[in-house]
Chain A
Amino acid sequence: MSDNVISIDEGRGSQTFVGSLRPQVIMGAAAAALPAVFAHVSDTPPLGASGVPLSVQQLYPEQTDDSRQLKALNLLERARITLLDALNFDPSGNFLQFDQEIMRARAILLRAFMYRDIGEGYAAVVNAVIWALANRKPGLPSRRQINVISASMERLISGPYIHFDTSMQILDDLEEADLDIEPPSLDILIEGYDG
């Protein structure tokens, strides 16, 4: 069976045609169904001179309440503030209040983890902080550790779609602050495997 080859020249009236000018080659007689190629957006202005990257708020100025991104970032911010609130309490004197704030922050982060489809980097950092708080020893995390966690949250809030490799650097920072970011069962499994 031979194929009929038809060429078609696109005509778009007064609209500037900026797509490929080569003949469109199709099989059969479906000429009218050809895609309209005018995708080049060449009539827009050049890039502004600003070298400052757009913030999340500038990039998404009109997010609605149903936005998963907005929900996730709000939860991260709440968790961060709750952690910083814990610093108002001295764990040696007000251990219960201090620990309550830490547990509250962890509960918020567990909800933030529900939005892990945002990206692998996001999921890795939130998961690491959840385990860092779960594995804490009495009276911890320290002020320094809370500040490191807060900085990692800030990093995620300003760039939620970070690459997984980038998130490894944040995880390194958490580990350098003596935070145990792995689930304990993982250690047991590794020990068992080594043994």
Chain B
Amino acid sequence: MLDYSDCKIETVTIELRYDQSLLVWDKVGEIWAEVQTQFPELVLQTGTPTQQAFESFDISATIEMAAFRASCRGVNAEEKVAQVTQKMLQVCADRLKLAVFTRVGLREIRSRKFANMDEANSAVSSLVSPAFAGSLVGDSRLSTFTCALKQESKTNGLSASIRTEERETKVTIPWAFRERITADLSKECLVVVDCDYYTIGTTLRETLNMEEWAKQASRTIKRYWKSVLQ
């Protein structure tokens, strides 16, 4: 049986989209200098005219011409990502003269590890009828499971998916170091719970506070999954 409370947060991402802003080309240095006053741990990863990405160990933040987003992971990822995006919202809205956002979204990805894929598949196959997940041809067995849906009202939408996946991280180590460093990362068998809650329609800057909005977006996502994964 799969319980939502057993699924640990991998990442929480908040993204705000807006009409293309060419002011990014003029203001991006100022924007990042100000964001770094509150989050000095952020370090430049890529800086191109169309995208600037900054990262720290648990924060990833990007500004583009038509969107900015931040991802956080680990303990308090939900609070942290809301704080980072609130700061980005304040700075970007002022510097890029953004009064309207075309989409505001929060995406939360959680996962739970299992010993093998059979266990992972059996944990989620209980969500559907036994016939649906049962052996279909000969002695076949369930190898992966994916279930996704999307719901929309006039103002908000939610897309959710639950899937099993075998995750493998490949490390390429330069020849000179292979003697000293071994890249032996084991495969992980996971159930991944992925949900995206977003606004439909335009959102005025003057109605938007990311910490308030993220709180209730997270609450909506939790309520949904708790009703599904009991």
- Decide yes or no whether A185 CB sits under 8 A from chain B: no
Check A4/B172 contact, CB under 8 A, given A14-B144, A47-B200, A160-B206.
no
- Decide yes or no whether A114 CB sits under 8 A from chain B: no
* Cβ-defined contact, A20 with B207, below 8 A: no
> With a CB–CB cut-off of 8 A, which chain B residues contact A97?
none
In B168-219, which residues have CB < 8 Å from any A CB?
A: 168-174, 177, 181, 183, 185, 190, 192, 196, 198-209, 212-213, 215-216, 219
* Cβ-defined contact, B201 with A50, below 8 A: yes
Question: What is the bound-complex CA distance between A158 and B167, given in angstroms?
Answer: 46
Question: What is the bound-complex CA distance between A38 and B207, given in angstroms?
Answer: 28
Q: Which of B154, B198, B212 contacts A50 (CB 8 A)?
A: B154
Check A4/B177 contact, CB under 8 A, given A9-B172, A59-B208, A162-B206.
yes
- Decide yes or no whether B152 CB sits under 8 A from chain A: yes
Question: What is the bound-complex CA distance between A29 and B183, given in angstroms?
Answer: 10
Question: What is the bound-complex CA distance between A4 and B11, given in angstroms?
Answer: 28
Interface string of B44-76 (1 = CB under 8 A from A): 011000000101011010100000011101000
Interface string of A23-60 (1 = CB under 8 A from B): 10000010111011111110111011011111110111
- Decide yes or no whether B83 CB sits under 8 A from chain A: no
Report the interface size for chain A: residues with CB under 8 A from the other chain. Answer: 57
Nearest B residue to A121 via CB reads B206
* Cβ-defined contact, B102 with A47, below 8 A: yes
From DSSP, what is the main secondary structure of chain B's interface residues? strand
> With a CB–CB cut-off of 8 A, which chain B residues contact A23?
172
Nearest A residue to B109 via CB reads A38
- Decide yes or no whether B36 CB sits under 8 A from chain A: no
Residues of chain B having any CB pair with chain A under 8 Å = 10-11, 13, 15, 17, 45-46, 53, 55, 57-58, 60, 62, 69-71, 73, 93-94, 100, 102-103, 105, 107, 144, 146, 150, 152, 154-157, 159, 163, 165-174, 177, 181, 183, 185, 190, 192, 196, 198-209, 212-213, 215-216, 219-220
